[in-house]
Amino acid sequence: MKKTPQQSENKQQDLPLSLDNLKGIFQDCDDIVFRPLEMDDVRGTFIFFKDMIADQALSEIQKVIFNFLLEGSAKPESSTQLLKALNSRFVTGKIAQSNETSSIINDILEGNAVLLLEGMDSAFVFQTADTSGRSIEEPPTDQVVRGPREGFVEQLDTNIKLIRRKISSPSLKVQYLTLGKQTKTRLALVYVREIANDGIVEEVRRRIMRIEIDSVLGSNYIEEMIGDAPYSPFPTIYNAERPDRICGDLLEGKVAILVDGTPFALTAPALFVEFFQSNEDYYDSFYSASIIRLVRIFGALIALLLPAFYVAVSTIHQDLIPTPFLIHIAGFRADLPFPIVVEAIFMQITFEVVREAGLRMPKAIGSAVTIVGTLVIGEAAVQAGIIGSLMVIIVALTALTTFVLPNYKFMQVFRFGNIPMLILASLFGLMGIIVGLMFILAHLCSIRSFGVPYLSPIAPVSKGWKDVFIRAPWWSLENRNPVLSEKNVRRGHLKPPLPPKK
């Protein structure tokens, strides 16, 4: 019977630790180096991937080994003594020892150097992985006028460091996990023990441990695997690439999931109201933040309902339009060949095609092509008598209002959700819009995120309304949302003023 790849992998990892077995496992890997080491009566082999090891660390290893062997007089007889002696000389990182083939393979694949010495029952693993990567900079998809200018990068250790800088407390717990049979991707489960709900932390960990997958190349792999309501368009896990946003969620009682290789971190549970909140709301005055948050909510309603409302009142409820304006619309549409709902869907699809093309084009010309292409296509369609000029304005305003939502994944719900509302409005008028809204509301009420109602604190009604539709002043935000944190609900308070001096 032919062996499966998984069975072959397990057989390789169960082999005894030896140079010949490692050479067989890494056969046809031209980027791996087996460098022999010979001096007097000591023989060994260095094993490492030449493109994954830091050059400075490799040169230091060779220097440490040769200087140690040249001393000769204090040569240890056991691997434990040798490990202590080498660790006292190696400055760049630590040295560990292992006698398991599977562990040695993982260390080599991570970019560490392994030393095998004849007569020693264990291999020595040097921490030499090259951790250099993209520098810390402001995320291009989540910029603020006032606030921190740093964002997550692709290195997990760097992202953990950014969080530790902001939350300097031993209560901040970080637990590492590994997923992916082929990729062996590292994950970090982060939470604040004194604030986070133990049940939510355990549920997040349980769902992650149930995942069996070959590769994890981004945080969305985890998001789709552990999220509630998998067929719902509304996201039940929040994603962000700003450390300040993740730290704020951690201090509210949420659990963060950081994945090595991606700058987007996940937080759970997610609430519907937080997708209307931006980082800048907490760095600006509460007056401005509250007004802008209401603008976002109003913009989301426009993006969802404006085309449907225009189609409903133009085709079925014409008595709601003032007569002069109705005559004006009828004059625009006198020679148009298609129904108004066909025009709306056509313009929606055209705008999405142009926007998607702008994202895939080179950055230098992408934005210019998006703007110019939309204007040219819209003007040409009006001149050709395919669509009305008012429809161009409606679709352009609808597309523009989707960008007021801070979260890209949540924006896509309103970006594509207006088409079903448009079809309902063309069939049933305003009644179709009302039925569509009732269906959306019922769906939102049925969703839970890791046991937390998706619409809380709106439904079921609970405390926490000071940071929902508006952002109250900081001195009045004394309590956390009890739905997220049951341990330490109180966030802080303003001390009473000192009595005046006599």
Which tokens go with 164?
């530790």
Q: What is the pLDDT of residues 278-292, one digit of tens each?
A: 888 888 889 999 999
Find the mean pLDDT for residues 360-380.
68
Confidence band of 11 (pLDDT split at 50, 70, 90): very low
Confidence band of 141 (pLDDT split at 50, 70, 90): confident
What percent of the chain has a predicted confidence (pLDDT) above 90?
34
Q: What is the pLDDT of residues 383-434, one digit of tens each?
A: 777 887 888 888 888 988 988 898 989 999 998 899 999 999 999 999 999 9
Residue 54 has pLDDT above 80, yes or no: no
Confidence band of 441 (pLDDT split at 50, 70, 90): very high
Find the mean pLDDT for residues 181-201.
91
Rounded Cα gap, residues 159 and 265, in angstroms: 9
| Structural domain boundaries in the chain | 5-126, 156-270, 282-453
Find the mean pLDDT for residues 238-245.
93
Confidence band of 4 (pLDDT split at 50, 70, 90): very low
Confidence band of 502 (pLDDT split at 50, 70, 90): low
- Which pLDDT does position 137 carry in this prediction? 86
Rounded Cα gap, residues 285 and 474, in angstroms: 10
Say whether the peptide bond before residue 339 is cis (omega within 30 degrees of 0): no
Instruction: Tell which residue, 130, 127, 80, has the closest CA to residue 107.
Output: 127
Find the mean pLDDT for residues 162-182.
91
CA end-to-end distance (rounded Å), the chain: 95
Q: Which pairing describes strands 95-98 and 185-192: parallel, antiparallel, or unpaired? A: unpaired
Confidence band of 18 (pLDDT split at 50, 70, 90): confident
Query: Which distant-in-sequence residues (6+ apart) come within 8 Å of 251 by Cβ?
Result: 167, 192, 195, 491
- Cβ atoms 192, 246 nearer than 8 A: no
- Which pLDDT does position 484 carry in this prediction? 82
Rounded Cα gap, residues 377 and 350, in angstroms: 8
Residue 306 has pLDDT above 60, yes or no: yes
What percent of the chain has a predicted confidence (pLDDT) above 70?
85
Q: What is the pLDDT of residues 311-351, one digit of tens each?
A: 999 888 888 888 887 787 777 777 778 888 888 888 888 88
